[in-house]
Structure 1
Amino acid sequence: MKKSLIALAVIGFSGAAMAQSSVTLYGVADVGVGKMEGGKTEMISAGTMNNGTSRLGVRGVEDLGGGLKAGFNFETGLSLENGDTSTAGAGYWGRAANLWLGGNWGTFKMGRTLTPSFYGVAAWELTGTANYSVIGNTYKYINPQVAPTGAIGAGARNSSQFSYKTPNLGGFSAEVGYITKQDNGAAKWDANAIYANGPIGIGLSANKTSGSKTNYSLGGKYNFGNFALATSYNVAHIVNAQRRGFSLGGTATFGAASVTLDLTRDTKNQWGSKKYTNGLLEAKYALSKRTFIYGAYLRLDGDNNYGIGVRHNF
């Protein structure tokens, strides 16, 4: 009898402990047909003219008690053309590999993760930071070995990042990240300040690698209901060459359908031979809460690019 009671107690305790932690498998499947930078029309997956990069991830969180939680996130990218991995970093878990602790005081994270600058832009960018975002592609960090789009003047992700994010205080939040010289070859900091409350979204992003100049972006969005308007000012550097300019765009929603027009205009461009006006036209139709079809046309630095595809979130 005593052994039975002890066994039941152990089982009950184990169940209570397990109930305080959870692990979630999630992902995105995105594939279509399109053309990029004068190439031929072909199947596209994990490319610039996809809405997003197909991915598979696992994340978990454990309640440690007293308001303290611990969590992790591992994420890899893949191409639906052939099943190959398509990561934003050197390893299999190139999209995310991090551990965090959080509570009422905020969240402290360590590892490979999206940058504070990326989240600052995401607060107001009209496409939801799609791969074909005209903002991300115009002022991106130019490196063929990283993902096609990124934050202002930098990649969308940092490796070996220590970061702290404040709790949300009436819509206000801020995050700062730091990478040591030993981990990066040169020390780097990255930060944002965000106000997101109701129809308003405002984000200030800034990042700097030691020995180079500061990249920054300030943007805002207002949602009127069936129509949203966004504008921004952006400054990005490659070494000491600067590209800066502003953006203006809007999204109109008609039930399950939406149309977005977003434009950028250079006020200075030392990366190329002249100043450009770039533009994105995007149409989406939601088949369900998790699946939509899309079409996008991107005019980028004189090149015409397009993509038509399907995205499913799970």
Structure 2
Amino acid sequence: MKNLGSRTIALAIAASGMVASSAYAQSAVTLYGILDAGLLYTSRTAGGGAHQVSMIDGGTAGSRFGMRGTEDLGGGLKAIFALESGISMANGGIANSNGNFFGRQAWVGLTSDLGTVQAGVQYSPFVLSLINTDPRNVSYFGSAAVIYVGNVLDTGLFNPNAISYTSPVIAGLQGSVMLALGGEPGNFQAGRQYSARLKYEIGGLTVDTALYSGNVGGTAASTPVPTTVAFTGRTIGAGYTYGRLTAKASFVNYKLAGSFDNRVYGGGLSFAVTPALNVDAGAWYTSDGNDTANHSILTGVGIEYFLSKRTTLYGQFAFVNNHGKMNTGLSLNGALYASEGSTSGAVVGIRHAF
């Protein structure tokens, strides 16, 4: 009997180990990131000063590191999460986020054949639509990303207190909605934000449209970089890929009550010259609907050489011309705003993804 009991205990321990190994095999956590550093030249600073040369973080993409994970819950249902922090290659501090440690993304959710639900800090459907229709892949230098952040800072980009749902793709159509709660007792409107998106893809064609509406206040108003600038946004864009060539165009409206009503018309091309070499170019015209004397034109071109699948050398040139009170800049980092008149700039750098 004693021998039998020992065998039973041994079998139980072995079985529990097999169950633990099986459960572990159904879960995965991935560490990832981007490290991007460049040298920026601008012909003059925002105050109309002399030319400047500086090291910046994020010539093409904001440096970051994060973790994403999944757990298979069975029946096609999975638990998912993401934690992502922006960092500065210039000083090692927090950057390229709303100023908080995991200020880029910090959400948990569920996904299945019925769609995906996420809760926490996340990108809005409006921002994801803009990313999808930018011909320069929302480069941090000389693209629509500079115009976006220059208008509304991190609002809509990193949304605190947010809950979202994204549908499965049905006949090429996919929709998503998001509601961010302000968190202020007795005042539902304070800091409340919502966004929706509808995307259609067939073959090489993509059509993408989205909206955004947000209020000031709420608990998210305390983020170091503002994420509750009150504005309404509307966008529609399209892209088409033919072989190695991709063309994209979009219209975006940023409207702040009692302030500007900026209407942005943009488009451009991206071409894979070889598997190791890519070039792109884009142009964006911005006009204030409240006063058309305020307008600007931003153009940007870039070249990327892929040393490997993870490491890229790049060079970019951009030019902006501002009229009236318009202050469109060249770069998210180092030159977000520019003075009236013409300003040019260039950036060279290296990007590594892991």
State the TM-score, normalizing by the size of structure 1: 0.89
Note if 1:28 corresponds to 2:43.
Answer: no
2:266 is aligned with 1:234: no
Alignment match of 1:251 (pick from 265, 270, 282): 270
Counterpart of 1:135 in structure 2 is: 144
Task: Give me the whole-angstrom Cα distance separating, in 1, the residues matched to 2:289 and 2:140.
Answer: 22
CA distance in 2, matches of 1:202, 1:191: 14
Moved over 4 A (4+): 210-213, 269-273
Q: 1:1-314 alignment to 2 at 5 Å?
A: 1-36=7-42, 38=45, 40-46=52-58, 50-140=59-149, 142=151, 146=153, 154-182=155-183, 185-210=190-215, 214-240=232-258, 241-255=260-274, 256-268=276-288, 270=290, 274-300=294-320, 301=322, 302-314=342-354
Secondary structure (helix, strand or coil) at the match of 1:236 reads strand
Matched residues in 2 for 1:260 and 1:93: separation? Answer: 31
- Sort the Cα spacing of 1:35 and 1:237 in 2 relative to 1 into closer, same or farther, 3 A: farther
CA displacement at 1:78 relative to structure 2: 0.9
Per-residue deviation, residues 1-27 of structure 1 (Å, max 9, x unmatched) = 222211110110001111111111000
| AA of the residue aligned to 1:30 | D
1:13-57 C-alpha deviation (Å, 9 max, x unpaired):
0011111111110001111111356251121114xxx10111110
State the alpha-carbon separation in 2 of the partners of residues 115 and 84 from structure 1: 25
Q: CA deviation at 1:87?
A: 4.3
Q: Deviations over 1:264-301 (max 9, x none)?
A: 12344558952222111111111111221111122234
Q: Offset at 1:237?
A: 1.6
Task: Label 1:92 to 1:235 Cα distance change in 2 as closer, same or farther (>3 A).
Answer: same
Distance 1:251 1:208 in 2: 31
Q: Distance in 2 between matches of 1:266 and 1:42?
A: 27
> Secondary structure of 2:159's match?
strand
SS class of match (2:295): coil
CA distance in 1, matches of 2:85, 2:191: 26
Per the TM alignment, residue 201 of structure 1 is displaced from its structure 2 partner at its CA by 2.1
How big is the alpha-carbon RMSD for the aligned residues of Structure 1 and Structure 2? 2.2
Alignment partners' CA distance in 2, 1:190 and 1:91: 23
Give the percent of matched residue pairs that are identical in Structure 1 and Structure 2. 25
Give secondary structure in 1 for the equivalent of 2:52: coil
Give the 3-state SS of the residue equivalent to 1:185 in structure 2: coil
Cα deviation code 1:129-183 (max 9, x no counterpart): 221252222344535xx55xxxxxx442211111111012233211110112436
Structure 1 residue runs of 5 or longer lacking an equivalent are 148-153
SS of aligned partner of 1:263? strand
Number of residue pairs matched by the alignment: 303
For 2:183 and 2:8, locate their aligned partners in 1 and report how far apart those are by CA, in whole Å. Answer: 58
Structure 2 length-normalised TM: 0.79
How much has 1:229 moved relative to structure 2? 1.2
Are the aligned partners of 1:113 and 1:161 in contact in 2 as well (CA < 8 Å)?
A: yes
Residue identity in the other structure for 1:61: T
Letter of the 1:193 partner, please give it: L
Contact map agreement 2:232 2:256 (CA 8 A) in 1: no
Question: 8 Å contact 1:195–1:203 — kept in the other structure?
Answer: yes
